Amino acid sequence: MRNDKLFGLGVALVTPFKDDNTIDYSALSKLLAHIIEGGVDYIVVSGTTGEPPTMSATEKAELRSFIVKEVNNKVPLVLGLGGNSTESVVNEIKNTDLSGFDSILSISPYYNKPNQRGIYAHFAEIAKNCPLPVIAYNVPGRTSRNIDSQTIVKLANDFKNIVAVKEASGNMMQVLEIMKNKPEDFMVISGDDALTLPMMSVGVSGVISVAANVVPKQMKKMLSLAFDGKFAEASDIHYKLLDLMNALFEDGSPAGAKAALNFLGFCKENLRLPLVAVCDQTREKIKTALNKALTA
């Protein structure tokens, strides 16, 4: 049976910071209200967009607890848990309080560049040790290794709790191969805002979106129209959002999203090093694109 909690519009949540670099929980509360009121179907906590590599274990635990209480079961929650040491990821899964979360999102190992057999073995260990459904995250632009379509399909067939892949390879042929060969109930989720509508035309289950931090209502409207088969109307919204989608990543993510959220009054642009705020030129592009997107 398809995991309906992962169907539709997911948001890769940013983590607001104060000027002193601590987590800005007041801003986070306002942001959560904004995206829930905007119609998101689920929220991804501590994904790449949330800057978890810069957080201590204590901060991560406090952040999880706050979000679980603040969201209060209004929408499902997904927790980012991944890394490039399989043993460390498994230990983190075993030692993390997963109450309040509906599944985990786990990135393919980065930096040490495993081959496809190693990637398969990594996710196999996660599947065997995770009490929640698992979304495998393929983003070769960050990891330097693609998860081949054959590897994804094999994982989907061999482990029933690997329920979806977040596909951010940018390779539409790979998306088509997964869609053609996957088990019926396995979900393919777009990991690229700008390619979401084209991917939906071949049957993907939605998107885990960075832009939905900023324009959740508009993203939700686009997806709803596409799910209803109204692709001409969905395309109108897509093209009004496209400049913003691209601008958000021009100077690094989540720097772009935080610049846009700052324009809207939800949080400051503060990031933790090595990430820095967008340059002035990009900020102006984001402002112009945001004004256009808000008319969608």
Structural domain includes residue 118: yes
Structural domain includes residue 140: yes
Per residue in 162-177, pLDDT (tens digit) is: 999 999 999 999 999 9
Phi, psi for residue 197 in degrees, rounded to 5? -65, -45
- Quote the CA–CA distance of 155 and 162 in Å, as a whole number: 7
Phi, psi for residue 225 in degrees, rounded to 5? -65, -40
Positions annotated as catalytic residues are: 137, 166
Q: Which amino acid is at 244?
A: L
Per residue in 48-80, pLDDT (tens digit) is: 999 999 999 999 999 999 999 999 999 999 999
Structural domain includes residue 59: yes
Structural domain includes residue 195: yes
- Quote the CA–CA distance of 291 and 296 in Å, as a whole number: 10
Q: Is the pLDDT of residue 1 over 60?
A: no
Structural domain includes residue 203: yes
41 close to 75: Cβ distance less than 8 angstroms: yes
Q: Which two tokens stand for residue 171?
A: 């390779």
The answer for 96, left when phi > 0, alpha when psi is -120 to 50, beta otherwise, is beta
Per residue in 237-274, pLDDT (tens digit) is: 999 999 999 999 999 999 999 999 999 999 999 999 99
Confidence at 2, pLDDT banded by 50, 70, 90: low
Structural domain includes residue 122: yes
Query: How many other CB atoms are found less than 10 A from the CB of residue 276?
Result: 12
- Quote the CA–CA distance of 57 and 289 in Å, as a whole number: 36
CATH number at residue 186: 3.20.20.70
Instruction: Determine the structural domain holding residue 51 and report its residue range.
Output: 4-228
What is the value of pTM for the model shown?
0.97
Q: Is the pLDDT of residue 34 over 60?
A: yes
